[in-house]
């Protein structure tokens, strides 16, 4: 069983965590900082990032944290973030693609992609692509991508990927989280095929009490909160599958981690179930090509 207390110091290693100013990203940042890792907190709002940094420093005074601005709803912002990072750092041990948005009203990114597909999947796809030479050039590096139980019912709607004919906020969330898991698996296969040691690993938190529910109807949320509370766990526990995927020695590329309790909703971290449709090679191939086309840059995974 994974025990964070048995993980040795990670001194000298650098992690980028997207969406590090709240929920799971903030907890993952704190846990990594406790293990002496340098953490780049990639946040869309600098002020909220600095506030989260102060909160972590109050708990972990030795924490080595740097807030950098990254808005995953803008390809230009992603490009600027990567250029800024590369001008200061020549290696990257861990990339944690954590940021996410769930069931908002129909919103679009700067490039006009539906926001859940745009931020949760495409933004991270592009970020990973731009950082790939740096991360594959670093020994023992890993890319951890956050998916969700929502991948189980997810479907990729190639006939209306961008929700232009109609919009279902839940189906759009499911699509984006299935895309996250398909990307994890494809990336790992492509890394292995080209002889790279960098691993791509998936993780999901089960159901954790974070601000992800900010777009829920407030009254319904308050009414259901007692049941919700009982079925869920804290952000700290929800972050553990990510931490395990990033730091446990037994992890293999292409694996998927989540809570091991009933229906993977909460509990200790361990190996999680990948639904068969997430492994569909035909769908994954199309998704990969479409994602390259929409983000405007092909992956070059060569050694």
Ligand X SMILES: NC(=O)c1ccc[n+]([C@@H]2O[C@H](COP(=O)([O-])OP(=O)(O)OC[C@H]3O[C@@H](n4cnc5c(N)ncnc54)[C@H](OP(=O)(O)O)[C@@H]3O)[C@@H](O)[C@H]2O)c1
Active-site positions read 167
Q: For ligand X, which is the closer residue by CB, 70 or 246?
A: 70
Of 29, 98, 141, 198, the one binding ligand X (CB under 6 A) is 98
State how far the Cα of 183 lies from the Cα of 126, in Å rounded to an integer.
11
Smallest CA-to-CA distance from 278 within 154, 169, 190, 168 is with: 154
- Asked if 179 is part of the footprint of ligand X (rule: CB under 6 A), the reply reads no
- In sequence order, the β-bridge partners of residue 68 are 42
Taking the least distance from each CB to ligand X, the nearer of 146 and 187 is: 146
273 DSSP 8-state letter:
P
Least CB distance from residue 169 to ligand X, whole Å?
A: 13
Q: Name residue 201's beta-bridge partners.
A: 144
Residue 114 has φ and ψ, to the nearest 5°, of: -55, 135
Cα–Cα distances in angstroms (integers) from residue 71 to residues 19, 108, 119, in the given order? 9, 13, 8
How far is residue 146's CA from residue 125's CA, in Å, rounded to a whole number? 12
Alpha helices per DSSP H over the chain: 23-34, 46-59, 75-88, 115, 124-136, 169-193, 218-231, 235-238, 240-247, 281-295
What part of residues 181-240 is at the interface with ligand X (CB under 6 A)?
204-205, 207-208, 210-212, 238
Contact letters (x/-) for ligand X, 105-134, by CB under 6 A? --------------xx--------------
Query: 261, 267 in Cβ contact below 8 A?
Result: yes
Q: Which 236-265 positions form the footprint of ligand X (CB under 6 A)?
A: 238
Residue 107 CA to its chain's centroid (Å): 20
* Residues contacting ligand X: total by CB under 6 A: 31
Nearer to ligand X, 7 or 150 (CB): 150
What letter does residue 275 receive in the DSSP assignment? P
Q: Does position 79 bind ligand X by CB under 6 A?
A: no
Which range of residues in 14-22, 59-67, 223-231, 276-284 is near ligand X by CB under 6 A?
14-22
Query: Binding segment for ligand X among 58-66, 70-78, 126-134, 159-167 (CB under 6 A)?
Result: 70-78
Q: What is the spatial distance between Cα 240 and Cα 115, in angstroms, rounded to a whole number?
A: 27
Instruction: Select 120 or 136, whichever has its Cβ closest to ligand X.
Output: 120
Among 37, 65, 99, 301, the residue binding ligand X under the rule CB under 6 A is 99
The two tokens of residue 141 are 């590096």
In whole angstroms, how close is the CB of 149 to ligand X at the nearest point?
6
DSSP character at residue 101: -
Q: Which of 7, 14, 15, 22 binds ligand X (CB under 6 A)?
A: 22
How many CB atoms within 10 Å of residue 261? 15
Does position 82 interact with ligand X (CB under 6 A)? The reply is no
Our finding on whether 146 is near ligand X (CB under 6 A) is: yes
Cβ distance to ligand X smaller for residue 11 or 262: 262
> Which residues of this protein are in contact with ligand X, per CB under 6 A?
18-19, 21-25, 44-45, 48, 70-73, 98-102, 119-120, 146, 148, 204-205, 207-208, 210-212, 238
């Amino acid at each position: 069983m994974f025990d964070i207390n048995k993980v040795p110091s990670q001194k000298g290693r650098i992690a980028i965590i997207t969406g590090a100013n709240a929920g799971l990203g903030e907890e993952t940042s704190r846990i990594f900082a406790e293990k002496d890792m340098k953490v780049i907190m990639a946040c869309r709002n600098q002020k909220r990032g600095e506030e989260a940094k102060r909160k972590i420093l109050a708990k972990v005074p030795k924490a080595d944290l740097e807030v950098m601005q990254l808005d995953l709803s803008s390809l230009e912002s992603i490009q600027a973030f990567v250029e800024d990072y590369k001008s200061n750092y020549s290696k990257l041990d861990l990339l944690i693609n954590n940021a996410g948005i769930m069931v908002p009203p129909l919103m679009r990114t700067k490039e006009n992609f539906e926001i859940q597909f745009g931020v949760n999947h495409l933004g991270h796809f592009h970020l990973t692509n731009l950082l790939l030479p740096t991360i594959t050039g670093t020994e023992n590096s890993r890319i951890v991508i956050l998916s969700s139980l929502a991948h189980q019912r997810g479907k990729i709607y190639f006939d209306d990927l961008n929700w232009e004919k109609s919009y279902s906020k839940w189906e759009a969330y499911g699509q984006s989280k299935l895309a996250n898991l398909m990307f994890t698996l494809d990336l790992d296969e492509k890394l292995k095929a080209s002889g790279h040691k960098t691993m791509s690993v998936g993780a999901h938190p089960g159901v954790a009490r974070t601000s992800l529910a900010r777009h829920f109807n407030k009254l319904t949320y308050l009414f259901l909160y007692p049941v919700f509370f009982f079925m869920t766990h804290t952000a700290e526990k929800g972050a553990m599958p990510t931490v395990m995927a990033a730091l446990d020695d037994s992890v293999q590329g292409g694996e998927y981690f989540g809570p091991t309790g009933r229906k993977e909703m909460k509990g200790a971290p361990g190996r999680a179930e990948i639904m068969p449709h997430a492994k569909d090679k035909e769908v994954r191939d199309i998704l990969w090509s479409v994602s390259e086309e929409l983000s405007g840059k092909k992956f070059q995974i060569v050694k």
